[in-house]
Amino acid sequence: MGPPSRPRSRDSCGAGKRSVRGLSPNLDSRRSNRISASSNFAKPSSPIPGTSLGTPSDRKVKVKESLSASEDIAAEIVVWTGDIMNVDSPESSTPAPPEISNPPDVVVEDMQVEPVESPSSSPLSHPSPSPSIQASPSLSLEPSPSLPLEPSPSIPFEPSPSIPPDASSALPLDLPTPLPHDLPPPTLPSSPPAPASEVVISPFVDDDVAPKAESSSSSLSAVSDHSDLSPVLSSVSSKATTPVDNESFKEAMAPAVAQPASQVTDKPRRRYDVRPKVSIPPDLTLYEYATQCIAGAEASRLNPYALHPEEYSMLRDHISHTQVTTYLNIRNGILRLWVRNPQIAVTRDEAIGCAKDSRWFDVASLSFDWLVRRGYINFGCVEIRSSRKPVAENSPTERKQKTVVVIGAGMSGLGCARQLEGLFKQYSRRFREMGEEPPRVVVLEGRSRVGGRVYSRSFTTKPKEISPHFEGKRYTAEMGGMIITGFDRGNPINILLRGQLGLDYHKLNPDMTLYDSNGKPVDLERDQLVEKLYNDCLERVSEYKFQQPTSKLIEGNRDLIDEGRDSSAETHKTIRQAEEAAAAQPYAAPVSEQNMAPQVHLVPVSSDRATGKVHTEPGTPGAQKAAHRVKDIGWTLKHGVSDDADLEIEPLTKEPNATLGSVIDKIIPQYRDLVDFTAQDFRLMNWHVANLEYSNATNYNQLSLKGWDIDAGNEWEGAHTMVVGGYQSVPRGLALLPTPLNLKQKSPVQKITYSPENTGKATVECEDGYKVEADYVVNTIPLGVLKHGNVQFDPPLPSWKADAINRLGFGVLNKVILVYKEPFWDENRDIFGVLRIPSSRHSLEQKDYSSQRGRFFQWFNISKPSGLPVLLALMAGDAGYDTEQSCNDDLVAEATEVLRSVYGSRVPKQPVEAVVTRWASDKFARGSYSSAGPTMEADDYDTMARPIGNLYFAGEHTSGTHPATVHGAYLSGLRAASEVLDAMLGPIEIPTPLIIPKNHSSLKRKASGVNNKDSFEARLQQYEIDMWDHIVSLIDRRPLIPTKPASNAYIFFSKSNYDNARKKLEEGRRPGKGKPSANEVRVMSAKMWKETTEEEKRPFVEMVEEQKRAYAEKMTEWKKLAAEWDEKATELRLKYESEHPVPVANEQEGEGNKRRRGTGVESYAEPDEDEGIVDEEEDVIMEG
């Protein structure tokens, strides 16, 4: 008996959309329709459709007060508070009385501030007296309006240029679809209308969730900036954040423990009643579809053209090298579905509908499992619908239920708990089959708020009038995590913030002015010269970095993937067999060394002024002699210094206890032997050092020479942004949406008893005596707290873990945040820097700069995101530690002095409100974020991530690819959730054979009408194929669209100047540095292009124009030929139909089947050279 059909709805797949190619019903329409509905882009009515949260205003009411605003304090001090409109005199030195809005609700947290240890005994350098922290009297439990979950109109919800606006949504679903651009119009008037839905959900397919019929707003463009950044993604794909070429291969998602991702199963094969291609929109060209799939992979940190190492280990026994292309097309197609609308989960059926041939259904299902489990899809505040079908099993009372306790409600803990909830829902059936209820998740948090180090603390000050764009938002100071370092290339915060929560954000203007210590702007040219020298210095020391191991690079066929085609070749050797056969050849490389990604060195090329992060590019570190290089970057060598002069770096790196700082401190004076280096140059150089210390939250003398930029190459792309109304909205969203997590606040954990062999339960004990028994514990307690040692582990953590805790660094960055009555600064700038003078004013000694360089060195104008005139100063490096012990008056006085040096007497004596953070004194953080401690080992971050029995670890300090960040913390939570699920359910099961061979005897036609090849459906399909073959035999295939030429003059320039660029690089090259790499040549060409005059550029510009003209001609010709072909094809089709009657359904085949008229004929698969068009095995059920 076939499964009962699901009730059919009009917007489900197969709604009568027809074309010669795209006749398949289309699951994708549920997603793409929403995307194209332009009315939805402006303001989706609900970020999570169908949730109990309902309308935005309902939602506000439902947001729990306890989550929204119980403001504990990250050791901050509110110095002067006062209503901005209620200040007698802004210059008054008397603190204005703070406005206490809701006295009965005031929660003043017991701060339990403890002294900070010096770096000799701990990574935090300066001893700190217990500061007398005053909690702000204005702390109040603000109600939910503080959770601005309404999608902001400012979010760019325009449809992607690659999707024709309203391409499908504007069409009634029971009318024929618009024609695919390269196909003749459908002319089958006799065919009955297709059913509204043709996906029949099988009871055998049910770990996943019901496809969602409800339409909701799109977030494709909301989660993608590619439209304005990179029109063609594919060819330049995956620079850094995908696992192609460097250490980013060691992706954040890979489980920390070497355990198989999958296992072969001999269980009966799943059965699917999904039709191939149902998730592929028929109204997109292959190229457009492929572009979206590639973008989907890139937006998910996966290489669209290559297997992730885990995919490789899952698939190497099951698919051949040539089949990798088809696998990647399916996987990228699933990711495309997800990024187009991350408000609802991708279902297994939708995923399977990305396969173009039913032989690949199990592969699609496997890929779906892997993507779900590893948190590449269906993560965050996503609605996941429970399985529809109940399972016959024991009565609920008899069922066990496991408990997972997550400690900590920061981004990692909330991310993990939310992900576990989602995974348990998606795999609920599996648990029930095991006789268990899906596990419960309990979050224990020490503070009285969520967010941890993402803390947007409400100002006491409020504006006189609320500007419309700030309505419903909170006026906050970002005490901790603040900047989102780009949404593109896979930042998961993009999905959460723009795709799901629809939060408003502010793009930071990257232009900044550096002011010298006398308040005058630094000459831009000098600034750039020194910056280049600083980068050269970092590049030279990057030679001593850890060499990251590379992984296998198993690639598909790029050209086919770019064109959206599958590979038709069907070699039968699996990847493993091919590798072993290759290894058996004489002198061949062993399997472990085959297909390895090339080793790529990343060298620093610039520094991000907003975050201090160093940007890298592939290259050869320190390739040129120093004198040659400094000349090249624009410095004049001192009299008598030859081009051959070089720096002595090697011995410095061999010194005992060498650190990044100890080496650079001794390199900088060496530059003075080559060029004239002034005191201002020293100040500039040290400003950059302070910036680097900001990104590492410690003095660079506390950074490992080998590991200080272990995360290099993993940066996102796109503008830096801040959340308007506070970044804390993101963790709040995670805690609340789609349904509130089971979260217990004010529950500081003091003891974790765990089972190292996973043979028993764990117990988590809180300071107040509260105890929870757990099957699994996920510990996200910050590294600083772990180092401090006041959380007890029973048994004590093994030495491999404890040693990594000791070796990694955990320093402090602090902030001084000042609210003014009105701005006196340049309101169009978001950032400015100030050079600080050393302890000895005109010193040319590097050591004299360290204590001062990070004091108020970087300022952010955060008026737009905070809603008030606010400046925020960073205290980095030594200054970060000093802040812990400095008194508030002194800090504010110093800040005012610095500001006055730049803005003069316009700066009031006192701000109206000031907030100082003291993260090292915060007992729930003990610092700001992790760093590469001096004795760090290459895999310490991975070691931090490794579970011990039933004790799992997450937190920014467990992410080697994105440490010290909000997104890294979040990704670590997804990783831990994946590990816990694997421990509960075991690895992903793989049926064998995974891909049913063509003509395999196990391919059994489904006995029921729809699946029987003798059925109406099959006859209809055969009819279409025969007709298609007939048409092609007479008029050949439709002409191919011409390839677009390069439209950039630089491309022609770089081609013709390749040799010149290489020669330039060879001049002054240090011995042993080899030939310049392709990337070095590229960088040099770019530099040469920059220096080329307009006159010199003209021939290349003309070449572009010539190419464009030729392309336009080809397009005109192509359009003509294509139109002619379409016309002929239509005629032939009609003629064929008149000569060969269209099959009609007999009575047994039923009405329903008649409606299935219109199965696709042209496959998206590349035609098999031998066999012509690929056979479409639609509706075939494969049984093991």
Ligand X SMILES: Cc1cc2nc3c(=O)[nH]c(=O)nc-3n(C[C@H](O)[C@H](O)[C@H](O)COP(=O)(O)OP(=O)(O)OC[C@H]3O[C@@H](n4cnc5c(N)ncnc54)[C@H](O)[C@@H]3O)c2cc1C
- Give the SS3 label for residue 473: coil
Least Cβ distance, residue 959 to ligand X (angstroms)? 8
Q: Which residues pair with 288 in a beta bridge?
A: none
Q: Which stretch binds ligand X (CB under 6 A): 381-389, 939-947, 958-966, 1097-1105?
A: 958-966
* Interacting residue with ligand X among 713, 748, 833, 1076 (CB under 6 A): 748
Q: For ligand X, which is the closer residue by CB, 553 or 785?
A: 785
Instruction: Read off the tokens for 343.
Output: 């408000």
Tell me the closest approach of the beta carbon of residue 511 to ligand X, in angstroms.
19
Shortest distance in whole angstroms from residue 412 CB to ligand X: 3
Which one of residues 382, 411, 541, 705 is an interface residue with ligand X (CB under 6 A)? 411
User: Using CB under 6 A, which of 243, 304, 413, 490 touches ligand X?
Assistant: 413
Distance, in Å, from the CA atom of 1179 to the CA atom of 652, rounded to the nearest integer, reads 69
- Exactly one of 370, 924, 941, 1016 binds ligand X (CB under 6 A); which one? 924
Q: Is 452 in the site for ligand X (CB under 6 A)?
A: yes
Coil, helix or strand at residue 596: strand
Binding to ligand X (CB under 6 A) within 426-445 occurs at 444-445
Q: Does 920 bind ligand X (CB under 6 A)?
A: no
Task: Provide the minimum distance between the beta carbon of 870 and ligand X in the complex, in angstroms, as a whole number.
Answer: 15
Taking a C-beta distance cutoff of 8 angstroms, is the pair 674, 638 a contact?
yes
Contact call for residue 608 and ligand X (CB under 6 A): no
Give the one residue of 408, 619, 811, 1160 binding ligand X; rule: CB under 6 A: 408
Q: Which is nearer to ligand X, 824 or 919 (CB)?
A: 919
Quote the strand ranges of 647-728, DSSP E: 721-723
Of 152-160, 163-171, 582-590, 959-967, which segment contacts ligand X by CB under 6 A? 959-967
Q: Among 148, 159, 446, 604, which residue interacts with ligand X (rule: CB under 6 A)?
A: 446
Alpha carbons 1009 and 582: distance in angstroms, whole number: 47
Distance in angstroms (rounded) separating the CA atoms of residues 1052 and 1054: 6
Shortest Å distance, C-beta 919 to ligand X: 5
Min dist CB 961 to ligand X, Å, is 13
- With CB under 6 A as the contact rule, the residue among 369, 632, 956, 1149 that binds ligand X is 956
Task: Please report, as residue ranges, which positions from 976 to 1005 form the binding site for ligand X (by CB under 6 A).
Answer: none
User: Which is nearest to 213 in space by CA: 193, 233, 196?
Assistant: 196
Q: Does 813 bind ligand X (CB under 6 A)?
A: yes
- Least CB distance to ligand X at residue 499 (A): 18
Nearest Cα neighbor of 700 from 843, 840, 534 is 534
- Compute CA 1112 distance to the chain's CA centroid, rounded to the nearest angstrom: 38
CA 325 – CA 569 distance, rounded (Å): 10
Binding span for ligand X by CB under 6 A among 247-255, 429-437, 479-487, 836-844? 479-487
Write the binding mask 775 to 794 for ligand X: x where contact by CB under 6 A, - elsewhere.
-----xxx--x-----x---
Cis peptide before 1071 (omega within 30 of 0): no
Helix ranges (DSSP H) in 195-342: 226-229, 286-298, 309-315, 323-340
Whole-number minimum distance, CB 328 to ligand X, in Å?
Answer: 30
Q: What's the closest the beta carbon of residue 917 comes to ligand X, in angstroms?
A: 6
Name the one range near ligand X by CB under 6 A: 338-346, 518-526, 917-925, 1067-1075.
Answer: 917-925
Dihedral of alpha carbons 461, 467, 472, 475, sign: negative
Binding residue for ligand X, selected from 49, 410, 618, 726, defined by CB under 6 A: 410
Q: Please, are residues 646 and 625 in contact by the beta-carbon 8 Å criterion?
A: yes
Neighbours of 853 (CB within 10 A): 27
Considering the rule CB under 6 A, would residue 1051 count as an interface residue with ligand X? Answer: no
d(CA 700, CA 603): 18
CB nearer to ligand X: pick between 675 and 971: 971
Best CA proximity match to 716, nearest among 1020, 1025, 961, 386: 961
Which range in 80-88, 219-227, 919-927, 996-1004 contacts ligand X by CB under 6 A? 919-927
Contact 591, 543 (CB under 8 A): no
Residue the block writes with tokens 């594919």: 234
- Taking the least distance from each CB to ligand X, the nearer of 162 and 950 is 950
Q: How far is the CB of 481 from ligand X (least distance, A)?
A: 3
Contact with ligand X (CB under 6 A): which of 447, 552, 1006, 1154?
Answer: 447
Angle between helices 679-696 and 524-541 (to 10 degrees): 60
Biggest distance spanned by C-alpha atoms of the chain:
100
Q: Between 31 and 815, whose beta carbon lies closer to ligand X?
A: 815
Asked if 453 interacts with ligand X (CB under 6 A), we say: yes
Q: Quick one: which segment of 235-243, 410-418, 1062-1070, 1092-1100 binds ligand X (CB under 6 A)?
A: 410-418
Q: In this chain, which stretch among 253-261, 332-340, 351-359, 478-486 interacts with ligand X, using CB under 6 A?
A: 478-486
Identity of the residue, 529 or 734, whose beta carbon is nearer to ligand X in the bound complex: 734
Residue 331 exposure: Cα atoms within 13 Å on the Cβ side: 30
Q: How far is CA 353 from the centre of its chain?
A: 25
How far apart are CB 929 and ligand X at their closest, in Å?
5
Please report how close the Cβ of residue 409 comes to ligand X at its closest, in angstroms: 5
Pick from 955, 1068, 1076, 1160 the residue near ligand X by CB under 6 A. 955
Closest residue by Cα to residue 319 from 80, 577, 580: 577
Whether residue 333 contacts residue 290, with contact meaning beta carbons closer than 8 Å, is answered with no
Q: Between 328 and 347, how does the x/- string for binding to ligand X read (CB under 6 A)?
A: --------------------
Strand-pair partners of 403 = 440
Number of residues that bind ligand X (CB under 6 A): 39
The answer to whether residue 492 forms part of the interface with ligand X (CB under 6 A) is no
Count of CB atoms situated within 10 Å of the CB of 510: 12
Q: Where do the H-state alpha helices sit in 947-1048?
A: 966-985, 1016-1035
Q: Minimal distance in Å, beta carbon 812 to ligand X?
A: 8
Note whether 505 and 723 are within 8 A (CB): yes
The stretch near ligand X (CB under 6 A) out of 88-96, 217-225, 963-971, 1068-1076 is 963-971
Minimum gap (Å) between residue 724 Cβ and ligand X? 15
- 867 in contact with ligand X (CB under 6 A): no
Type of residue found at 567: S
Among 167, 381, 495, 749, binds ligand X (CB under 6 A): 749
If we measure between CA atoms, which residue out of 115, 109, 79, 72 comes closest to residue 95?
A: 79
Cβ proximity of 271 and 1005 under 8 Å: no
Task: Tell me the closest approach of the beta carbon of residue 379 to ligand X, in angstroms.
Answer: 15
In whole angstroms, how close is the CB of 865 to ligand X at the nearest point?
A: 12
Which phi and psi angles does 688 have, rounded to 5°?
-65, -40
CB of 779 to ligand X, least distance (A): 9
Work out which of 272, 327, 427, 919 binds ligand X, going by CB under 6 A.
Answer: 919
CB 515 within 8 A of CB 528: no
Shortest reach from residue 237's CB to ligand X, in Å: 25
Instruction: Give CA–CA dist 411/550, Å, rounded.
Output: 30
Whether the Cβ atoms of residue 280 and residue 1164 lie closer than 8 Å to each other: yes
Q: Which of 498, 492, 207 is nearest to 373 (CA)?
A: 207
386-387-390-393 Cα dihedral, nearest 10 degrees:
-90
Q: How far is it, in rounded angstroms, from Cα 147 to Cα 563?
A: 43
Helix (H) or strand (E) holding 439: strand 436-444
Within 667-726, the residues that bind ligand X by CB under 6 A are: none
Which residues are at the interface with ligand X (CB under 6 A)?
407-413, 444-447, 452-454, 480-483, 748-749, 780-782, 785, 791, 813, 815, 919, 924-925, 928-929, 955-956, 964-967, 969
